[in-house]
Copies of this chain bind each other. A is one copy, B any other.
Amino acid sequence: MSNVLNADAKGVFVIAVTPFTESGELDLASTDRMVDFYLESRATGLTILGILGEATKLTAEESRTFVKRVLARVAGRVPVIVGASAAGFAPMRELSTSVMDLGASGVMVAPAPTLRTDDQIVAYFDMVNTTLGADCPWVLQDHPVSTGVQMSTSVVLRVLKNSPACVMLKHEDSPGLAKLSALRAASDKGDLKRVSILTGNGGGLFLPEELTRGADGAMTGFAYPEMMVDVCHAHASGDIEKAHDIFDAYLPLARYEQQSNIGLAVRKYLMAQRGVIASAALRKPGPKLSEADIADIDRLVRRQTRRLQEIQ
């Protein structure tokens, strides 16, 4: 195992949550347990301080503390990627320099929400390359739902061509299967250098189909990361039906966890139920689950457990 992030990356990079205590403090003991849990679930990488890591609710000092703690616990066993989308290039440089100095393997950058035309997007990532420098491996995040920026296949190709240090695409466009096929076709034709493509479409809600289209794995969060790992393994071993069987068993809950807004609260509730983190609390401002939500989730968990027994 290694913590090098390069274009050969495969498997499941879990988007980690940031654990807080009930009173809203960073919970470092839970952070350790969470890292252990993800690695025991056979994650091949971690991504921290993304949108679903509540990054914007942390002070700069807290961010550093959290990154250090995760890196110390991971201890070089898998690559750790840190979200570095920022309101400007100066804070992006500060953040990326800081986390790379602490030992991160790379950073992840999405287009700024103000970008509209193809040329603007390409020019933006030229500045990103200048900002990050040649030695910082980075991940291009294509997530129109959160950024409002639609990158066509041809723009993704232009950005990747201009970005020697970009080694991975986090593919979250939706619908995204055709784009995934087109990118892989370009790569096979030699129009595009090899990059790792990990998918996060709806939190993995199209994972079996994405693997069939050539994705190298998933980068997303889900309270049951073993689902994604098992689906990837079954698929890689050629047992596509088994990959679907596993996926389908988790789908009703995954669907519920992937709701925008309250999804993260669902995920933390489940992780707390599983004993991974001590508290399900989100830092304010954040949604709270209602009793009706919890009843929904508990039912879905019971049904999932039963269904998993059936298919084994």
B-binding residues in A (CB < 8 A): 55-60, 62, 86-91, 93-94, 113, 116-120, 123-124, 127, 149-152, 154-155, 174-175, 177-178, 181, 205-206, 209, 212-213, 240-241, 244, 247-248, 251-252, 255-256, 259-263, 283-285, 290, 292-293, 296, 299, 303, 307
Nearest CB to that of A55 among chain B residues? B88
Task: Check A175–B113 contact: CB distance below 8 A.
Answer: no
A253 CB to closest chain B CB (Å) equals 10
Task: Check A57–B88 contact: CB distance below 8 A.
Answer: yes
A283 to B88, CA, bound (A): 11
**Chain B residues with Cβ under 8 A from A206's Cβ?**
255-256
Task: Check A296–B212 contact: CB distance below 8 A.
Answer: yes
A153 CB to closest chain B CB (Å) equals 8
A209 to B255, CA, bound (A): 12
19 A-B Cβ contacts within 8 A? Answer: A56-B90, A56-B91, A57-B90, A58-B90, A59-B90, A60-B94, A116-B116, A116-B149, A116-B150, A117-B151, A118-B152, A124-B285, A174-B259, A175-B259, A175-B260, A181-B290, A244-B252, A248-B251, A248-B307
Task: Check B285–A123 contact: CB distance below 8 A.
Answer: yes
Q: Which residue among A87, A127, A149, A154 has the maximum number of chain B CB atoms within 10 Å of its CB?
A: A87
A206 to B182, CA, bound (A): 31
A291 CB to closest chain B CB (Å) equals 10
A61 to B199, CA, bound (A): 37
Q: A87-B56, A255-B251, A284-B127 are in contact. Are A299 and B244 (CB under 8 A)?
A: yes
